[in-house]
Amino acid sequence: MRTSVILGSLHDIPLGEGRTFAVDGAMIAVFRLRDGSLRALSAVCPHKGGPLADGQIDLKQVVCPLHLNAWDLTTGCSLSGQPPVTVYPVRVDNDSIILDV
Amino acid sequence: MKQRLVVIGNGMAGARTVEEILSRGGEFDITMFGDEPYGNYNRIMLSNVLAGIEDESGIFLNDLSWYAENGITLHTGVRIERIDRHARMVYGSDGSATGYDKLIIATGSSAFVPPIKGAHVPGRGYHQGVFVFRTLDDTRAMIRYAREHERAVVIGGGLLGLEAARGLQNHLGHVTLVHAAGHLMNAQLNVQAGKTLQATVEQKLGIEVVVDGMTTEILGKHAVTGVKLGDGRIIDCDVVVMAAGIRPNSAVAADSGLVVERGIVVDDRMRAVDEDDIYVVGECAQHRDQVYGLVAPLWEQARVLADQITGTDPGAAYHGSQVATKLKVAGVDVASMGLRGPESADDELIEFAEPKRGIYKNVVIRDGRLVGATLIGDNGKATALIKAFEKGLPLPANRSELLFDLGGPAAEENVAEMPDDEQVCNCNGVSKGALKSCVDGGCKTVSGVMDATRAGKGCGTCKPLVQRIVEWAAGGAVEEDPAASYYVPGVPMPKSELMAAIRQYELKSVSAVFGKLGGDEDAKSKMGLASLLKMMWGASYVDERDARFINDRVHGNIQRDGTFSVVPQMKGGVTTPSDLKRIAEVAERHGVPMVKLTGGQRIDLLGIPKEKLPQIWAELDMPSGYAYAKSFRTVKTCVGSDFCRFGVGDSTALGIALEERYQGVEGPGKMKLAVTGCPRNCAEAYVKDLGVVAIDGGKWEIYVGGAAGAHVRKGDLLTTVGSADEVITLTGRFLQYYRESANWLERTYAWVPRVGIDRIRAVVVDDSDGIAADLDARMDETVAAYVDPWKERAEPATPGQFRTSLPLTVLPQVPVRA
C-alpha cells in the first residue's frame, strides 16, 4: 500500500542542492534540480556510506562527496559501477514536497 | 528489407570494420568470405606464436560464435575470384555466386617473394624447406619443419624478418639474417640506429646478421642445403624463411575493373575510385599514394568506412595516418616515427648514442614541431614522442627532455609484463586485469576507463600508468578523448579559450557558463568553474551555492563518516597559550573525538557533525585555516633566527606575513608553502608549491613546483632575492600566474614543468611579457576581497546549510500519513 508524506516546504531545499529527510526510519535525500523538478533517492551511498544529499548534482546525476561515485537521479542506477540506490516518486504540491513511499 | 553487405576478407581489417559497423547499429545482412579456414585472428601475434610466447588459441579475435551471434554468414576457405560490378555479384572458388548491395574489399596482402633461383620447385610450390611468414598455416608449417632441422636463413632484415629470426631461435640452433640493404630496418631507421639494432641482435640474441647481402640462389636438390649471395658467399642452412616484405592482394580488384596501382585506389571516404557501393580497407587499400602495413591506420580507416557505409557521419573522412610505431622487435625496444634524420639545413637533429648498452635515440625537429624520432633499446619516451608527433605539440625549450626523463620518476614499468592481478591504482584498488577487461569490454578512451573503474581518481599518481595500460590493452586502438584538453569536462574548451569566452559574454555565474557555452549543466564541472569564475570576477562573481563542493559550502573537510574537520588558522605554525587553552576547552566541551596535529603545523578537530560547525567556530572565534579548499593552505616555518643557532633569516616572521597576506586565496589546486631559516631546510621548503629558503648574506631563495605527497618533486629555483618584501611580491605574482594559467586540479608540481621554469621565471621575475603589474594588481584585488568564511555562522547562507545529511543525530521525524 502506497502512502504519501509531506516532507516540508520546497524552499527548504536550495536550487541545485539536496537535503536529507527521515521518513519512517528511512533516510531519503531529496534534490531540487535547476529545472525546478525534484528527485528522491535513498540517502546513503551504497559504496562506503557517504551522504548523497551533500553531493553535487546536475539534471542527470548526483556525485557522492566521499569518493565521487555517481548515480542517475531518475533511475537510481550507478554510473560508476556501484550497486543502485532506491528511487522514490516525489512531487511538489502548493510548494510542499510530497513523497510516495 | 535489409541491404546485403558482402565483405571479402576475414582478416583484422575486415572483421574490425564489421565490428565498427555493428557498433553503429548498422542494419545489414552480412556475408564474409575468408581465404583462410579459420575465424579471425591477430596476425601481429604470429611472431609470438613462432617464439612460443603465445599459444595459438590466444590469438583469435572473434571465434565462430561471434559471427553467429551477430547474424553474419561466414564462408571460410573460400577465395573470391571475380567481382561483377554491374550485376553486383561476387563469385567464389567454391563455385558460389553471392549478390550484394554494398561490398567491402579487405583482402590484405601476401608475402612478397623476390625472384630468387631455387625458391620454387616447378609444379610443387616452394622448395622443400622454404617458407614465407604470413599466415597461421605458414607459421605452423615453419615450426614443424624447423624443429627437425638445425640452421635457418631468414631473407629480409625488416620488422618481419627480425621477428622471424627471433622466433626461429626457439626451434633450432642457428639463425642467420640476410638483408639486402646496408642496415637493418632501413625503411624506418637511419644508418646508426640500424647498426645499433644490429649489434644488439648479434650480441644479445646471438643472431648472425649479414647486411649488403643479396640472395641470388637457394641451393639443394631435394631439400635446401644453403643460400648463395651475390658476392659468391654461400651460407649453409636447411631452412629458408622469406620475409622480404608484403604486397597488397589486389588482383581480384584489378581483374574486376577497379583502379589499382600499388593497392586498390580509394578516396577519403574509403570508396574505390568511381564506385558508390564498393569500399576498400586495410593493407590492400592505397590512399593518397600510401599503402599502410601497420595496424593503427587500419583502425582509423575502419572507423571512417563504418561512419560512411552506415550513414552515421556522412562527413567522415580519412586523411591518411602519421605512422608512428612502438614495438619490441625481436625482444629489442624500437620506436620510430616520421623522418629518419634531418632533410634540410634548418632541421634540428638531437641525437644520443650509447652503443655499449645498445641505445640510440634521435629526434628531428622542424619549425618547432617534432617531425621524426627513433628510439632503439629504450622506449621510455616513446609514448610522449608519439603524442608530440601526432598532435604537433609544442616542444620543451630544453630539447634533451624529449630524449630523457630529467629528474623525473624512475624508469617506467613494462605494462605488458605486469601480472594481471598487480594493483595499479592503490587508492581505489584497481588491478591491471580490471583495466584490461574494461578495455576489452569496449571502452577505448583513457578517461572512459578511468570513469568506469575509478582508477586514477584518487591521488592521481597512477594516471600515466593507467594510460599506458589502456594503450597497451587497446593494441594501438586507443581513442582520443577530446575532453582531455578541456578545463572541465562539461564545457568543450581549454582554459584560455574558456576564460576569453567568459570575459566576452560577461558570464558571472556557473549556470550562465553552462547556458551560454556548455549546454546541459554537468555536476563534475561545477567546482572547477566556480573556482575560475571567482578568480576572474572577484566581488562581482555570482556565487551559486550548488556549484560548490560540500567542503566549500560548509567550510570544513568532509570525513569518511560524513562529519567534518575543523582546522583554525595558525599562521606560520605559531600559537599562544591562550589560543591553545581555547581550542582545548572547545574540544573538551563538545567531546571532539580526535584532536590531531596536521602536517601543516596546525591543530585539527576531527569528527564534528555538520550541524555543530557554526557553534564550534563561534566558540573558537578564530579564522578558518582553509584546510578543505583548493586554495592557499599554510606556510610551514622553522623557528628561524630568533631562537635557532643556525638560522640566517627570520623565517617565522616571513611565513606569518605570507599567510597573513595570501590567506584563503583560491586556485586550481592546493597551494602549500614553507619558509625555512637556513639551507638545513627543517620546514621542507624544497618540496612545497612555493618554498623560501634563507641563505647567508640576508638573501632568500624561492623554489616553486615542489611536492612531497603522492608525487615527490624538488622545486625549481625561481630566483634569489635580497629582501622579505620581494619574497612577498614575487609569491603573489607567481601564485596569480599559476591561478590564471594552470588547468583545474593541476598542482604546481605538474604545472611548473609543463610551462617550464625558464618561462615562468621570464614572466614572474623578468616581466618579459609586461604583465607583472597586472598580475600584482589582480592579486591585490583578491587579497582585499578576503573574508573569513567562518563568519558565515550567525545566519546560514542557504536554508539547511548545516543540516545533517546522515543519521548521525536523530532527525525530526516526518509524520507518516496513510
pLDDT digits (tens, 9 = 90+) for B95-135: 999 999 999 999 999 999 888 988 887 777 788 899 999 99
Angle made by CA atoms B728, B731, B737, in degrees to the nearest 5: 145
Q: What is the mean pLDDT of residues B177-200?
A: 93
Interchain CB distance below 8 Å, A68 and B457: yes
Q: What is the mean pLDDT of residues A30-46?
A: 94
Residues of B in contact with A20 (CB under 8 A): 803-806, 811
- Who's near B808: CB < 8 A, 6+ residues apart? B561, B562, B563, B609
Residues of A in contact with B544 (CB under 8 A): 15-16
Separation between Cα atoms, residue B286 and residue B264, nearest integer Å: 5
Band (pLDDT 50/70/90 cuts) for residue B673 is: very high
* Alpha carbon of B559: minimum distance to chain A alpha carbons (Å): 8
Interchain CB distance below 8 Å, B805 and A101: no
* Alpha carbon of A74: minimum distance to chain B alpha carbons (Å): 15
B362-405: pLDDT as tens digits? 999 999 899 999 999 988 888 788 888 887 877 888 888 888 87
Average pLDDT, chain B: 90
Q: Which residue has the cell 542506477?
A: A77
- Check residue B471 and give its pLDDT: 86
Domain of residue A25 covers 4-100
Chain A, window 41-70: residues with a beta carbon less than 8 angstroms from a chain B beta carbon: 43-44, 48-63, 65-70
Chain A, window 70-99: residues with a beta carbon less than 8 angstroms from a chain B beta carbon: 70, 79-81
Interchain CB distance below 8 Å, A44 and B816: no
Query: Backbone phi, then psi, for B165, in 5-degree steps?
Result: -65, -45
B239 CB burial (10 A radius; 0-12, 13-18, 19+): buried
Q: What is the mean pLDDT of residues A12-23?
A: 93
A81: nearest CA partner in chain B = B452
Q: Does B522 touch chain A (CB under 8 A)?
A: yes
Query: Smallest Cβ distance to A80: which of B451, B520, B550?
Result: B451
Higher pLDDT: B479 or B718? It is B718
Query: Smallest Cβ distance to A51: which of B522, B805, B812?
Result: B805
A54-78: pLDDT as tens digits? 999 999 999 999 999 999 999 999 9
Domains of chain B listed by start with CATH number: 3-110+248-310 (3.50.50.60), 120-244 (3.50.50.60), 324-402 (3.30.390.30), 415-485 (1.10.10.1100), 495-548 (no CATH), 549-624 (3.90.480.10), 630-787 (3.30.413.10)
pLDDT at B604 over 60: yes
Separation between Cα atoms, residue A92 and residue B280, nearest integer Å: 58
Query: Backbone phi, then psi, for B409, in 5-degree steps?
Result: -70, 170
B452: nearest CA partner in chain A = A80
Locate B326 and state its grid cell: 612502438
Q: Does A8 touch chain B (CB under 8 A)?
A: yes
Residue of A7, A56, A60 to mutate for B, most B C-beta atoms under 10 A: A56
Chain B, window 172-201: residues with a beta carbon less than 8 angstroms from a chain A beta carbon: none
- Check residue B15 and give its pLDDT: 92
Higher pLDDT: B221 or B671? It is B671
B249-296: pLDDT as tens digits? 999 999 999 999 999 999 999 999 999 999 999 999 999 999 998 888
Locate B609 and state its grid cell: 557533525
Residues of A in contact with B803 (CB under 8 A): 19-20
Query: Smallest Cβ distance to B558: which of A18, A66, A70?
Result: A66
Q: What is the mean pLDDT of residues B166-175?
A: 92
Residues of A in contact with B454 (CB under 8 A): 67, 69, 80-81
Band (pLDDT 50/70/90 cuts) for residue B793 is: confident
- Check residue B461 and give its pLDDT: 73
Residues of B in contact with A101 (CB under 8 A): 816
Residues of A in contact with B811 (CB under 8 A): 20-22, 27
Interchain CB distance below 8 Å, B546 and A48: no
pLDDT at B519 over 80: no
- Check residue B408 and give its pLDDT: 43
The structural domain count of chain A equals: 1
Separation between Cα atoms, residue B276 and residue B103, nearest integer Å: 10
Band (pLDDT 50/70/90 cuts) for residue A25 is: confident
State the SS3 of B692-743: EEEECCCEEEEEECCEECCCEECCEEEEEECCHHHHHHHHHHHHHHHHHHCC
Q: Among B77-91, B415-429, B582-596, B778-792, where is mean pLDDT lowest?
A: B415-429
Between the alpha carbon of residue B547 and those of residues A13, B456, B555, the distances in Å are: 14, 24, 14
Q: Which residues pair with B89 in a beta bridge?
A: B84, B99
Query: Smallest Cβ distance to B523: which of A43, A50, A63?
Result: A63
A66: nearest CA partner in chain B = B560
- Check residue B807 and give its pLDDT: 55
Q: Does B543 touch chain A (CB under 8 A)?
A: no
Higher pLDDT: B430 or B748? It is B748
Q: Does A26 touch chain B (CB under 8 A)?
A: no
* Alpha carbon of A61: minimum distance to chain B alpha carbons (Å): 7
Q: Does B3 touch chain A (CB under 8 A)?
A: no
Separation between Cα atoms, residue B541 and residue B549, nearest integer Å: 17
* Alpha carbon of B20: minimum distance to chain A alpha carbons (Å): 24
pLDDT at B777 over 70: yes
Band (pLDDT 50/70/90 cuts) for residue B811 is: very low
CATH number (domain holding residue A11):
2.102.10.10
B704-758: pLDDT as tens digits? 999 998 889 999 999 999 999 999 999 999 999 999 999 999 999 999 999 999 9
B409-427: pLDDT as tens digits? 444 556 777 788 888 887 7
A 10 A CB-CB count for B128 gives 15
* Alpha carbon of A87: minimum distance to chain B alpha carbons (Å): 17
* CB burial readout A28-59, b (16+ within 10 A) else e: bbbbbbbeeebbbbbbbbbbeebbbbbbbbbb
pLDDT at B504 over 50: yes
Query: Smallest Cβ distance to B816: which of A5, A19, A27?
Result: A5
Query: Smallest Cβ distance to A59: which of B520, B562, B804?
Result: B520
Residues of B in contact with A3 (CB under 8 A): 816-818
- Who's near B803: CB < 8 A, 6+ residues apart? A19, A20, B610, B611
Q: Does A16 touch chain B (CB under 8 A)?
A: yes
A58: nearest CA partner in chain B = B523
Interchain CB distance below 8 Å, A16 and B527: no
Separation between Cα atoms, residue B677 and residue A37, nearest integer Å: 58
Separation between Cα atoms, residue B83 and residue B677, nearest integer Å: 84
| % of chain B with per-residue pLDDT over 90 | 64
ipTM for this prediction: 0.96
Locate B588 and state its grid cell: 573538551
B550: nearest CA partner in chain A = A54
Separation between Cα atoms, residue B404 and residue B411, nearest integer Å: 10
Residue of B546, B628, B745 to mutate for A, most A C-beta atoms under 10 A: B546
pLDDT at B208 over 90: yes
- Check residue B412 and give its pLDDT: 52
Interchain CB distance below 8 Å, B511 and A50: no
Band (pLDDT 50/70/90 cuts) for residue A1 is: low
